[in-house]
Amino acid sequence: MRRSVGLLAVAAALASAAPTGASLMPIRRTFGDLSVPRVRSGKLVIPAHHNDGRVRVIVGLPLASLAAAYGRGLAAFGTTRKLDVSTAASRRYVARVAAAQRVAAAQLLRAIPQARIGRRFQIVLDGLTVSLPVTRLPRLARLSFVRKIYPSLTYHLATDTSPGVIGADELHALTGARGEGIKIGIVDDGVDQTNPFLQPDGLAYPPGFPRGGKKWTSAKVIVARAFPGPNSGRPGRLAVDRRASFHATHVAGIAAGDSDTCSPGGRDHPPTCGLSGVAPRAWLGNYRVFNVPTPIGQIANTPEIAAAFESAVSDGMDVINFSGGGAETEPANDAMIDVIHNVAAAGVVPVISAGNDRDDFGMGSVGSPGTAPDAVTVAAVSNTHVFSPALSVRAAGAPRSVQEIPIASSGGSRFPGAFTFTPRTIVDVGTLVGVGGLPVEPHLCGPDDDPNNENKTSLRPGSLSGVVALASRGHCTFVSKAIRAERAGAVGLVLVDNRAGEANAIPIQLSLPAGMISDLDGARLRTYLDANGGGAPATIGNIIGRDETGRSGVITSFSSGGPTAFEHLLKPDVSAPGGQVLSSTLPEFTGGPPFAVFDGTSMAAPHVTGAAALLLQLHPAWSAQQVKSALMSTAAPAWADTARTQEASVTLGGAGLVDLPRAAQPLVFTQPSSLSFQDLDLNRGSDSRALLVRVSDAGGGAGAWQVQLSPQAATFGASLDLPSTLNVAPGGEADLVAVARAGGDATVGEDYGFILLRRDADTRKIPYEFFVGRPFVERMQAKRLVRFQAGETVNGPNRISSYCCPSAPFGPSPDYVGPTMDESGTETTYVTSIDQPVANLGVTVEAATPGALIDPWFLGSPNERDVQGYAGTPVNVNELMDDFGVDLGAAGSSFPKIQRFYVTVDSGSDPFTHRPLPGRYVLRSWVNDVRPPRIRLLTRRVAQGRPTIVARVTDKGAGVDPLSLVISYRGVLVGAALYDPTSGVAIFPLPQGAQRIPAGRTRAVLSASDFQEAKNVNGVGDNILPNTAFRAVSITGVTGPALTWVSPAENQCVSRTVGLVVVASSTRRVRSVRFLVDGKQIDVDRKGVSDVFTGSWESRFAPPGRHELGAVATDSGGRTFSASRDLRVCR
């Protein structure tokens, strides 16, 4: 969204609804398929700890944690590969850390009396959780014992036969390993130990167990602990909250559900037997951290997650599964990076989901803590089946490939039952002859220069009468496709997906019955239809069935891709099934049986967790790194296309699909298990970077290995130098040096693939990745960033067309195969520095030429590939806000490092027509904006009915996000229609869809967020919306007229033309408003829009001093009413 306001000489004339001489502008609410409705049902609830100005951090202290201090193999490990916290050496060291922490805590409280100290960490961190006023952060940083300050970041959940996809069934049969004696920690939202998939039959508690809340334990779930987060209340203290928990039980079932379990069926799947977890005889530990309620579900914070990991290590878990994550922030300030490192050092395997953000943000979207180098980070692939209704061609002789095609829903709605029993003709629109005798465009879009205009179509009237239209996804919005089909007479719409894998659901409900089929199924159906006159009879069911497609191993479109946004590390590591996974959950969640089908990397991670458990059962002496190496070096291909002919890139699937039988006999270990060469910069000529891999005998791996390169992508002039052979001695190791090189004339681009180790029929692989670049920002003369600065993207060459990472913050291109962005303006770069800890900093486009799309990018170095993660892009990245995903023209960083930062301002192009949208702009910057906007209701007295409500909303920091302006009353939420960032005036005309304001007092709540809130990818305190204001107000409805002055302000000093604005409402139509100065009429408005009436006064002709402004309104009943205010003429 962009605001075009009167701060620029290029600003357009105001819209008819805006007051003359003011800078009110309509608030845009539609952005392609994304829209922010102005009226909807609901109410605003003011969050706890709102506006307390505090942040919560973890203060890192000088001593090493127990895990970091001792390392594998020393005294604290006793006789096992895992850290044993009960040894005398461990207890002595923890006592030393605790004593130092007590001293530090006392000193901290003396220095900052307002601070409050919470959780303390000794095993995987040496640190204290501290809550303090955000203004005291610099003082905290100066304390001598403070080694590091970690923000308390927010994490979200990353939301059968699938074990067979990774070879678990085969390994069970070959070795008999089923997880016996292995403990799996599930850090999630609470495991229901009563679920039939998690029964303890044949199991017994190991010595020293159960632990935690014993009422939530069994001989299967042997630990149950809760880690209540801020504002979680009494439910947060429950290890399982039956009103909120659902996810952990699903995850636990995938990892370790009992074999040969049956589900009786449910709303999303038919009755299904033969279910099993990957390690069905493993024990489970339940560590509940997702317990903080928000409008989008329960979230967790760093201190509670770190505490859960610490407890899991202390409890002796062998593997920890975390199917959650958050957008990556500065890794140096992310406590979970250190936690994961120390968990692995303690001998525990940390398995983390990669995240589900690629459909929204593209590559560079792997979330934290999956970005941790020591994590086993898991991407999601398709399953062998789907649970869905089917589209069935009913023509005689139709091939089997079109007799049962899985079809995904539209906005959660399936086709009506009539389509199940009565065949309808399905017609490929691309086979029709359209207007002008030309073929109909197969995407069902308008012309290239206006594809979303539903009034432009190549369909002839009535050409789809009574049929179901088959069209392609992409090029234009879902809504415009549906309108064109419906206007041509279609009774249904089936779209062919443009993403690989099984069909995605249409994310919104359309105006006619609709669904989506996969790209491969669509191609097969089109081939059949085109050979049979373009159409055939078909039924479309609305009952969920199980369709065995056999298309497992295809990377899902949602699965987050690498490299990581900040350090450009190669992630994810491996892949596992994460689509259409049936597992256990709570019956309170489903409203029926305790099983459900979920999608997500949340489901992929526990497959690998179970796999790690089986490997540790077979090889109890393996370290966490050795388990990771075994999983990666032996992985099978993951696939990039639905037909499974093209191997997925290492940036999507990591090393590939876990292959358990091979992982159990890896032959060699590799350390590290992948190579991240990061970026090669050719601005000063050729560049190179060398990395070393230590290859060691894992049993049977001795001998000469041939070293080969298997690139998946390569750029001209770049190479990866490798030795030709590597000799590994029995029980020994050898070093492999790999050197990434690029000559000065090399082509810019990404290089990635595999280093292969071959010995006879054995092959092991090591993924690698690097980028060859010539950063243009590095060659620009940067200007100093100040509070406000003007610029333009019109004059001069365009030198940067894309930024990273993430690579697609605006979402994928409309056709999914083109560039994800086209930044086409003339760039300007600004530079700024911070020299002490701050909570945030950033920039926003305060004003722009009408129609321009000005995009600022926040960079950590003079390199367009160094965008500071999600927050560094121009879009709203806060999932708690209504305008999440909208291009707001604001970019920044939360809890940044102390360093220099760069801001490059560019302008985008229309994603559908590719038309450049340059313009002039005013850029506003801020540092340490920790206060929400200020709100004041102006229209406290209005006529009953649906009058216009006006408020003044201002913000001294980042500025107000107009789409966040909402008033809540009588069960309805109404967004502002116009906003002026100069005066802060927000106008809420109440439309017909809104509730009426009755006579008497109506209680309401106004809310507003600033642009920093849109950059809060992670909360940093107890308040989930720290940069959002909530103001409870009272509005009095009267049975007669009411009038309120809006502008100018009371006692304002004026000198030239003064814009006059009032809001006048009545139970009858207001016919006019006369404006007076000192009793003399100076203007009249007979065309007020939405109760807003305007005028102007040339104050320069008035004598200096105080004057009285008056406004007199007259309604159609002849009633007059007036209001006045004083102002001063100043010279």
| Run of H or E including 481 | helix 478-487
Domain end: 705, 738, 773, which one?
773
pLDDT for the residue numbered 36: 82
Q: 837 near 928, Cβ under 8 Å?
A: no
Same domain, yes or no: 847 and 742: no
User: How confident is the model at residue 877, as a pLDDT?
Assistant: 95
Instruction: Using the Cα atoms of residue 798, residue 804, residue 810 and residue 815 in order, give the sign of their dihedral.
Output: positive
Angle at CA of residue 895, ends 889 and 896, nearest 5°: 75
Last residue of a domain, which of 527, 548, 569?
548
Same domain, 364 and 416: no
Compute and round to an integer the Cα radius of gyration of the chain.
Answer: 31
Decide if pLDDT at 11 tops 60: no
Q: What is the pLDDT of residue 480?
A: 93
Read off the CATH number of the domain in which 719 is found. Answer: 2.60.40.2310
779, burial (CB in 10 Å: exposed 0-12, middle 13-18, buried 19+): exposed
Strand partners, 121: 127
Across 287-293, average pLDDT: 95
Q: How far apart are the first and last CA of the chain?
A: 38
For residue 574, which amino acid is it? V
Q: Which residue has the tokens 């042997």?
A: 222
- Encode 180-191: b = buried (16+ Cβ within 10 Å), e = exposed: bebbbbbbbbbb
Instruction: Point out the domain boundary residue: 923, 938, 961.
Output: 923
Residue 1019 is predicted with a pLDDT of 66
What average pLDDT does the segment 61-89 reach?
A: 76
314: which 2 tokens?
A: 């202390």
For residues 1059 and 427, the model is more confident at 427
What CA–CA distances, in Å, run from 911 to 562, 808, 818, 844?
24, 12, 10, 21
**In which residue are the tokens 């009953």 written?**
944
Mean pLDDT of 790-808: 96
Is 429 inside a domain boundary? yes
Helices (H) and strands (E) in the chain, counts: 18, 66
Confidence of residue 15 (pLDDT cuts 50, 70, 90): very low
Nearest Cα to Cα of residue 556 among 652, 656, 412: 652
Q: Is residue 38 part of a domain?
A: no
Judge if 146 and 74 occupy the same domain. Answer: yes
Q: How many angstroms separate the CA atoms of 712 and 847, rounded?
A: 44
Q: What is the reported pTM?
A: 0.93
| Shared-domain flag, residues 367 and 391 | no
Q: How confident is the model at residue 48 (pLDDT cuts 50, 70, 90)?
A: low
pLDDT tens digit sequence for 376-391: 999 999 999 999 999 9
Q: What does each C-alpha distance from 980 to 555, 931, 987 come to in angstroms?
A: 46, 20, 9
Strand pairing partners for 162? none
pLDDT band at 75 (very low <50, low <70, confident <90, very high): very low
Same domain, 752 and 786: no
Residue 743 burial by Cβ neighbours in a 10 Å radius (0-12, 13-18, 19+):
middle
Same domain for 110 and 205?
Answer: no
Do the domain assignments include residue 1128? yes
Which of the four pLDDT bands, split at 50, 70 and 90, describes residue 41? confident
What percentage of the chain reaches a pLDDT higher than 90? 82
CA 976-981-984 angle, to 5 degrees, is 70
Q: Looking at residues 611-639, what average pLDDT do you find?
A: 97
Within 10 angstroms of residue 745's Cβ, the number of other Cβ atoms is 10
For 746, the token pair is 């090399």
Tell me the pLDDT tens digit for each residue of 139-179. 999 999 999 999 988 888 876 656 777 788 888 888 888 99
Q: Write out the H or E segment, with its range, that includes residue 95.
A: helix 88-111
- What's the CATH number where 1124 sits? 2.60.40.10
Rounded Cα–Cα distance for residues 696 and 705 (Å): 12
Q: What is the mean pLDDT of residues 1072-1092?
A: 92
For residue 10, name the pLDDT band (cuts at 50, 70, 90): very low
Contact between 615 and 630 (Cβ < 8 Å): yes
Q: How far apart (Å, rounded) are the C-alpha atoms in residues 1085 and 1090?
A: 13
Whether 856 and 822 have beta carbons less than 8 Å apart is answered as: no
Task: State the pairing for strand pair 920-927/788-792.
Answer: antiparallel
Per-residue confidence band for 405, with pLDDT thresholds at 50, 70 and 90: very high
User: Between 392 and 21, where is the model more confident?
Assistant: 392
- Are the CB atoms for 297 and 328 separated by under 8 Å? no
In a domain, 1033, yes or no: no
Strand partners, 1058: 1097
CB 485 within 8 A of CB 512: yes
Assigned domain for 829 exists: yes
Q: Do the domain assignments include residue 11?
A: no
What average pLDDT does the structure give for the chain?
92
Q: How confident is the model at residue 348 (pLDDT cuts 50, 70, 90)?
A: very high
Show the domain range for 753: 668-681+684-773
Question: Residue 22: is its pLDDT beyond 50?
Answer: no
**Rounded-to-integer distance, Cα 365 and Cα 1026, Å:** 25
The 3-state secondary structure of 770-787 reads: EEEECCCHHHCCCEECCC
What is the sign, positive or negative, of the torsion defined by CA atoms of 155, 161, 166, 170? positive
336 and 203 together in one domain:
yes
What is the structure's pLDDT at 1021? 65
Question: What CATH number has the domain bearing residue 453?
Answer: 3.50.30.30
- Annotate 340-398 with three-state secondary structure: HHHHHHCCCEEEEECCCCHHHHCECCCCECCCCCCCEEEEEECCCEEEECEEEECCCCC
| C-alpha–C-alpha distance, residues 862 and 871, integer Å | 17
Q: Classify burial at 160, counting beta carbons within 10 Å of its beta carbon; exposed 0-12, middle 13-18, buried 19 or more.
A: buried
CA dihedral 1114, 1115, 1117, 1122 (to 10 degrees): -40
pLDDT at 322 over 80: yes
Do both 899 and 792 map to the same domain?
A: yes
pLDDT of residue 5: 33
- Tell whether 995 is covered by a domain: no
Kindly list the distances between the CA atom of residue 941 and the CA atoms of 94, 938, 1036, in Å, as whole numbers in the listed order: 64, 9, 5
What are the residues whose beta carbons fall under 8 Å from the beta carbon of 13, sequence distance 6 or more? none
Domain total in the chain? 6
Greater confidence (34 vs 138) lies with: 138
Separation CA 324–CA 304 (nearest Å): 13
Q: What is the DSSP letter of 565?
A: T
Q: How far apart are CA 5 and CA 984, in angstroms?
A: 12
Nearest to 581 by CA among 599, 557, 593: 599
Q: Are residues 195 and 332 in the same domain?
A: yes
Lowest mean pLDDT among 2-16, 250-264, 358-372, 488-502: 2-16
What Cα–Cα distance (Å) separates residue 436 from each residue in 458, 459, 482?
A: 8, 10, 22
Q: Spell 293-327 as b/e; 16+ CB within 10 A means b.
A: bbeebbbbbbbbbbbbbbbbbbbbbbbbbbbbbbb
pLDDT tens, position by position, 922-981: 999 999 998 899 999 999 999 999 999 999 999 999 999 999 999 999 999 999 999 999
Q: Is 288 helix (H, G, I), strand (E, B) or coil?
A: strand
Residue 530 CA to residue 538 CA, distance in Å, equals: 15
Residue 355 reports pLDDT greater than 80: yes
pLDDT band at 3 (very low <50, low <70, confident <90, very high): very low
**972 located within any domain:** no
Q: Judge if 187 and 304 occupy the same domain.
A: yes
Q: Shortest CA distance to 912 belongs to which of 481, 580, 422, 344?
A: 481
pLDDT higher for 814 or 264? 264
83 forms bridges with which residues in the sheet?
none
817 and 694 share a domain?
Answer: no
The model's pLDDT over 845-896, given as tens digits with 9 standing for 90+, comes to: 999 998 999 999 999 999 999 999 999 999 999 988 989 999 999 999 998 9
d(CA 266, CA 592): 7
| Same structural domain, 323 and 191 | yes
Q: Return the sign of the alpha-carbon dihedral for residues 203, 205, 211, 213.
A: positive
State how far the Cα of 43 lies from the Cα of 1006, in Å rounded to an integer: 10
Helix (H) or strand (E) holding 1044: strand 1042-1047
